[in-house]
Amino acid sequence: MGIRARKIYKFFNGTLPTELLCFDINEKSIVKQSTLDRDDSRQLHSGGLDDNDQPAKTFESLTSGAQMVCNRLKKNQKSLRKWLAKNEISCYRLYDADMPEYSAAIDCYGDNIHVQEYKAPKTIDEKSAQYRFDELLSAIPIALGVNEDNIFVKQRQRNKGKLQYERLAHEENRAKIAVQEGQATLLIDLWSYLDSGLFLDHRPVRQMITQMVTNKRFLNLFCYTATATVHAALAGAESSVSVDMSNTYLDWAEENFSANHMNSNRHELVQKDCIKWLEECREGFDVILLDPPSFSNSKRMDDVLDIQRDHAAMIHRCMELLNHGGTLIFSNNLRSFSLDKDISNTYCVDNITAETLDPDFQRNRRIHQCYLIRA
């Protein structure tokens, strides 16, 4: 085109390797045809410019929009700094679509940054949304002082009108990253899936579990990568059972167990449809964590799971499995969720949602709902 890209980002659109080129349309960015002919092959095949051609990576080099994003990231970082240091937290959410026109979540895992694009507001067309997402990406290295190789981007793609993020099959052999949360060493994967393997918003719930499980039997339903079970084991749980339908996540959970030297004889992983498992279970537990997805139509399930429709039946069954004096922790992330009145009338229910939102999630207070339920 005869215009020099001021920035080039490499990421994956589904399984396709993609390069995103950002341009400033002004006289300085126009390249003479002779220079373009000489450099074109080198730039396209190497995936970027050489050191002498790299644009200045300064705040002043950003667009005005990117400067706003940069300032917001710095402001958020500053406001969280004391809390992070006091609680020795290295994995947290820094930005959550604070400015709606820059619609993404930015999570920090130590020096690694995980960026997940959200669907833009209806008032913003796709071209503008892409431009603003580019601006957000350009602000991150300057605001946070991180290497671009440590920024992992999950960008939306369209498939029959739905938003989808595909696993990067050719990246499956990349090693997971170990992060520390309290006493627990947990493994995350920032390139293969939409989620990292660690739900950051549930940090307070995991901490709460450590205060409840010493010498107790713990059940983790829809356990995902079983991070809550790791915390329970390290806090002295007598034994645990963690159930999930996904072999992939259970393999991941096993890696988490190994990383924390957990006794597999006392801490069991079960691959099964949680609803079926609940129907068949005859064991008793002192603490149960029930954290189902809002919706699931997995081929391995006989029926579709709809949390609004199905939560009451699941809670009733969990309460039957609780030992005397036991506690059920029920959580879900359906924004429009409403607890069945029959549950409130039958059991002692405490809505503890506000208590389970740390400072990094105060901007999105509807990210989950959480209840303590006792007989």
Q: What are the tokens at 156? A: 């939306």
Q: Are 22 and 5 in contact (CB under 8 A)?
A: yes
Q: With 60 as the cut, is the pLDDT of residue 34 above it?
A: no
> 176-374, superfamily in CATH?
Vaccinia Virus protein VP39 (3.40.50.150)
- In 3D space, the residue among 328, 221, 318, 229 whose CA is nearest the CA of residue 279 turns out to be 318
Element (H, E) at 12: strand 7-13
Alpha-carbon distance values, 10 to 17, 18, 59, 137, 148 (Å):
7, 6, 21, 11, 10
Segment 275-293 mean pLDDT = 97
Q: Are 155 and 117 in contact (CB under 8 A)?
A: yes
- pTM exceeding 0.85: no
Q: Are 120 and 163 in contact (CB under 8 A)?
A: no
Equal CATH topology for 7-164 and 176-374? no
Q: pLDDT of 74-115, one tens digit each?
A: 999 999 999 999 999 999 999 999 999 999 999 999 999 999
Q: pLDDT of 190-210, one tens digit each?
A: 988 889 999 999 999 999 999
Q: With 50 as the cut, is the pLDDT of residue 135 above it?
A: yes
Domain 7-164 has CATH 3.30.565.10: no
pLDDT at 18: 60
* Structural domain boundaries in the chain: 7-164, 176-374
The number of beta carbons lying within 10 Å of the beta carbon of residue 31 is 17
Q: With 50 as the cut, is the pLDDT of residue 42 above it?
A: no
Concatenating the DSSP letter of every residue in 325-367 gives EEEEEEEE--TT----HHHHHHSEEEE-GGGG--GGGTT-TTS
Q: With 90 as the cut, is the pLDDT of residue 40 above it?
A: no
pLDDT at 269: 98
Q: pLDDT of 339-366, one tens digit each?
A: 999 999 999 999 999 999 999 999 999 9
- In 3D space, the residue among 109, 75, 70, 81 whose CA is nearest the CA of residue 93 turns out to be 109
Q: What are the tokens at 146? A: 């991180």
pLDDT at 167: 44
- Point out the least confidently predicted range of 15-19, 79-83, 238-242, 370-374: 15-19
Q: What are the tokens at 172? A: 């499956």
